[in-house]
Amino acid sequence: MKKKDMNKQTIIQDAVAEIILAEGAVSVSTTKVAKLAHIAQSNVYLYFKDKQALLDSVYQRERNRIINTTDIAELRNHDIDIETRIRYYIEQVYDYSLANPDSMNLIQQIKFLMGEDDGLVINDSPNNIVHELLQEAIDNQVIKKLPINLHMGMVFSTIHQHTNNIGDQQYPESEYKFEDIYQFIWDAMRIH
Amino acid sequence: MKKKDMNKQTIIQDAVAEIILAEGAVSVSTTKVAKLAHIAQSNVYLYFKDKQALLDSVYQRERNRIINTTDIAELRNHDIDIETRIRYYIEQVYDYSLANPDSMNLIQQIKFLMGEDDGLVINDSPNNIVHELLQEAIDNQVIKKLPINLHMGMVFSTIHQHTNNIGDQQYPESEYKFEDIYQFIWDAMRIH
Amino acid sequence: MKKKDMNKQTIIQDAVAEIILAEGAVSVSTTKVAKLAHIAQSNVYLYFKDKQALLDSVYQRERNRIINTTDIAELRNHDIDIETRIRYYIEQVYDYSLANPDSMNLIQQIKFLMGEDDGLVINDSPNNIVHELLQEAIDNQVIKKLPINLHMGMVFSTIHQHTNNIGDQQYPESEYKFEDIYQFIWDAMRIH
Amino acid sequence: MKKKDMNKQTIIQDAVAEIILAEGAVSVSTTKVAKLAHIAQSNVYLYFKDKQALLDSVYQRERNRIINTTDIAELRNHDIDIETRIRYYIEQVYDYSLANPDSMNLIQQIKFLMGEDDGLVINDSPNNIVHELLQEAIDNQVIKKLPINLHMGMVFSTIHQHTNNIGDQQYPESEYKFEDIYQFIWDAMRIH
DNA sequence: TATGAATGAGTGTTCATTCAT
DNA sequence: AATGAATGAACACTCATTCAT
In chain A, which residues touch B (CB < 8 A)?
23-24, 26, 105, 112-113, 115, 117-119, 144-147, 149-150, 153-154, 157-158, 161-162, 164-165, 170-171, 176, 180-181, 183-185, 187-190, 192
Residues of B in contact with A123 (CB under 8 A): none
Q: How far, in Å, is the CA of A4 from the C1' of nucleotide E4?
A: 23
pLDDT on residue B144: 98
C45 occurs within a structural domain: no
pLDDT band (50, 70, 90) for residue A4:
very low
Q: CA quadruple A79, A81, A86, A87: dihedral positive or negative?
A: negative
- Is residue D117 scored above 80 in pLDDT? no
Q: Domain count of chain A?
A: 1
Q: Give how far Cα A19 sits from Cα of A105, A111, D52, Å.
A: 12, 15, 27
Residues with CB under 7 A from strand E: A 8, 39-43, 46; B 28-32, 41-42, 44-45, 50-52; C 27-32, 41-42, 44-45, 50-52; D 8, 39-43, 46
Question: Closest approach of chain D CAs to the CA of C5, in angstroms?
Answer: 34
Which residues, 6+ apart, have CB-to-CB distance to B148 below 8 Å? Answer: B131, B134, B135, B138
Question: Closest approach of chain D CAs to the CA of C192, in angstroms?
Answer: 8
A111-137 mean pLDDT: 82
Cβ atoms C33, C44 nearer than 8 A: yes
Question: Closest approach of chain C CAs to the CA of D177, in angstroms?
Answer: 11
**pLDDT tens by residue, D71-112:** 888 899 999 999 999 999 999 999 999 999 999 999 999 999
A99 occurs within a structural domain: yes
Q: What is the DSSP string of C121-169?
A: ---SHHHHHHHHHHHHHHHTTSB-SS-HHHHHHHHHHHHHHHHHHHHTT
- Is residue B20 scored above 50 in pLDDT? yes
pTM of this structure: 0.91
Is C120 or D12 the better-scoring residue by pLDDT? D12
Residues of B in contact with A111 (CB under 8 A): none
Q: What percent of chain B has pLDDT over 70?
A: 92
User: Among B78-92, B108-122, D128-142, which stretch is predicted with the lowest mean pLDDT?
Assistant: B108-122
- How high is the mean pLDDT of chain D? 92
A140 touches strand F (CB under 7 A): no
Which residues, 6+ apart, have CB-to-CB distance to C34 below 8 Å? Answer: C15, C40, C41, C43, C44
Q: How far, in Å, is the CA of D27 from the C1' of nucleotide E12?
A: 22
Q: Kindly determine whether residue B161 and residue A171, on different chains, have CB atoms separated by under 8 Å.
A: no
Backbone angles phi, psi at A85, to 5 degrees: -65, -40
Question: Closest approach of chain A CAs to the CA of B41, in angstroms?
Answer: 23
A64 occurs within a structural domain: no
Q: Which nucleotide's C1' atom has the smallest distance to the CA of B9?
A: F5
B42 touches strand F (CB under 7 A): yes
Alpha carbons within 13 angstroms on the beta-carbon side of residue A11 total 18
Q: Kindly determine whether residue D119 and residue C150, on different chains, have CB atoms separated by under 8 Å.
A: no
Q: Give how far Cα B52 sits from Cα of B44, B57, D104, Å.
A: 12, 9, 44
Cβ atoms D75, D130 nearer than 8 A: yes
Instruction: Measure CA C66 to chain center.
Output: 7
Which residue type sits at C12?
I
* Positions of strand F less than 7 angstroms from a protein CB: 1-20
Task: Using CB atoms, list chains with 3+ pairs below 8 Å to chain C.
Answer: D
- Is residue A150 scored above 90 in pLDDT? yes
d(CA B44, CA B35) in angstroms, rounded, equals 10
**pLDDT tens by residue, A151-178:** 999 999 999 999 999 999 999 999 999 9
Q: Kindly determine whether residue A146 and residue B180, on different chains, have CB atoms separated by under 8 Å.
A: yes
Question: Closest approach of chain A CAs to the CA of B90, in angstroms?
Answer: 15
- Is residue C118 scored above 70 in pLDDT? no
C9 touches strand F (CB under 7 A): no
**pLDDT tens by residue, B70-92:** 888 889 999 999 999 999 999 99
- Is residue A111 scored above 70 in pLDDT? yes
pLDDT on residue C1: 39
Residues of A in contact with B192 (CB under 8 A): 187, 192
Q: Give how far Cα D190 sits from Cα of D107, D142, D155, Å.
A: 28, 6, 13
Mutation test of the interface with chain A: which of B94, B185, B187, B192, choosing the one with the most A Cβ atoms within 10 A? B187
Q: Kindly determine whether residue C158 and residue D153, on different chains, have CB atoms separated by under 8 Å.
A: yes
A44 occurs within a structural domain: no
**How many C-beta atoms lie closer than 10 Å to residue A158's C-beta?**
27
Instruction: Domain of residue B139: give its range.
Output: 71-189
Q: Which residue is nearest to nucleotide E2 (CA to C1')?
A: A43
**pLDDT tens by residue, C170-182:** 999 999 999 999 9
Residues of B in contact with A181 (CB under 8 A): 146
Q: Which nucleotide's C1' atom has the smallest distance to the CA of D49?
A: F13
d(CA B43, CA B41) in angstroms, rounded, equals 5
CATH number at residue C144: 1.10.357.10
Comparing C-alpha atoms, which of B165, B169, B20, B159 is closest to residue B97?
B159
Q: How far, in Å, is the CA of D32 from the C1' of nucleotide F9?
A: 14
Q: CA quadruple D152, D155, D158, D163: dihedral positive or negative?
A: negative
C40 touches strand F (CB under 7 A): yes
Q: How far, in Å, is the CA of A50 from the C1' of nucleotide F17?
A: 8
Phi/psi zone of residue B134: left (φ > 0), alpha (ψ -120 to 50 degrees), beta? Answer: alpha
Q: Kindly determine whether residue C187 and residue D192, on different chains, have CB atoms separated by under 8 Å.
A: yes
pLDDT on residue C128: 86
Q: How far, in Å, is the CA of A137 from the C1' of nucleotide F15?
A: 49
A156 occurs within a structural domain: yes
pLDDT band (50, 70, 90) for residue C125:
low
pLDDT on residue C119: 66
C164: nearest CB among D113, D117, D158: D117
Instruction: Measure CA D51 to chain center.
Output: 21
Mutation test of the interface with chain D: which of C146, C179, C182, choosing the one with the most D Cβ atoms within 10 A? C146
Task: Using CB atoms, list chains with 3+ pairs below 8 Å to chain A.
Answer: B
**How many C-beta atoms lie closer than 10 Å to residue D21's C-beta?**
14
- Is residue D49 scored above 60 in pLDDT? yes
A23 touches strand F (CB under 7 A): no
Q: Which nucleotide's C1' atom has the smallest distance to the CA of A45?
A: F17
- Is residue D164 scored above 50 in pLDDT? yes
Q: How far apart are the first and last CA of chain D?
A: 56
Alpha-carbon Rg for chain D in angstroms: 19
pLDDT on residue B117: 67
D188: nearest CB among C162, C176, C187: C187
Q: Kindly determine whether residue D184 and residue C150, on different chains, have CB atoms separated by under 8 Å.
A: yes
d(CA D172, CA D168) in angstroms, rounded, equals 10
pLDDT on residue A117: 65
C4 touches strand F (CB under 7 A): no
Comparing C-alpha atoms, which of B54, B65, B2 is closest to residue B28?
B54
* Positions of strand E less than 7 angstroms from a protein CB: 1-20
Cβ atoms A128, B41 nearer than 8 A: no
Q: C touches D (3+ CB pairs < 8 Å)?
A: yes
pLDDT band (50, 70, 90) for residue C3:
very low
Q: How far, in Å, is the CA of D14 from the C1' of nucleotide F13?
A: 21
pLDDT on residue C116: 73
